[in-house]
Copies of this chain bind each other. A is one copy, B any other.
Amino acid sequence: MGIETTMKRLGILLSGRGSNFLAIHQAIADGRLPNAEIAVVLSNKVDAPGLARARVFGLPAHHIPVAGRTPFERDLEFIAKLREYEVDFVCLAGYMRIISVTFVEAFPNRILNVHPSLLPNFPGLDAQAQALEFGAKVAGCTVHFVDEAVDHGVIILQRAVSVLDDDTAGSLSARILEQEHQAYPEAIARVLSGDYEIRGRRFVVR
């Protein structure tokens, strides 16, 4: 099975419904990510709807408990679980914890995240509300590699979204999320192709 040998195994981390997990799952089902498969879905929240959904899909899904553990201990458990499932790439999909340097170093340039702003604009929480409050007229989303700093790693792709005069944080978030759902699988495809290089901070297709 020659085709199997190029298959890349994704580990998904989520804390909520994981709508970007669903978008990635759908992209695989549609054949838009022909050399990807979801190896495991992990969550710090036992009741994350995304975890339940993964089980419905027949995917391995595990809760990694955080109570009584340091962030470092927690991340070691995540790393162990991801290795157990022979994960090649880690996709954060609404995972609401900051991951440790140890975690980053365990998967160098192989952890991806999506953030609902055009980074470096509006890092951190409530990026869409930050954009509205600043009076931005163009917002968007960023898929990037995760590095040691929050919302900071090399950018794989960005998509712009117009801010409308009557936008609320909710309506803007919804339009940005639509773009995230397209951008994240596309960014994964670019990374899995292996056909890129990173020059300084620039992700450039060869």
Binding site for B on A (CB under 8 A): 118-121, 132-138, 140, 142, 154-160, 165, 200-205
Contact = CB atoms under 8 A, between A and B. Distances in A.
Nearest to A198: B135
B120 A202 contact: no
Given A138-B140, A138-B158, A160-B160, A204 B165 contact: yes
Nearest to A160: B160
Contacts of A142: 137
A154 B136 CA distance: 9
A155 B104 CA distance: 37
Nearest first, the 6 closest Cβ-Cβ pairs linking A and B are A135-B201, A160-B160, A137-B158, A138-B158, A135-B202, A165-B204
A140 B139 CA distance: 11
| Chain B CB within 10 A, most for which of A118, A204, A205 | A118
A160 B138 contact: yes
Contacts of A140: 138, 160
Contacts of A155: 134-137
Contact of A203 (B121, B135, B160): B135
Given A118-B121, A135-B202, A136-B155, 6 more contacts: A119-B136, A120-B136, A132-B202, A133-B201, A137-B203, A140-B160
Contact of A118 (B135, B138, B154, B156): B138
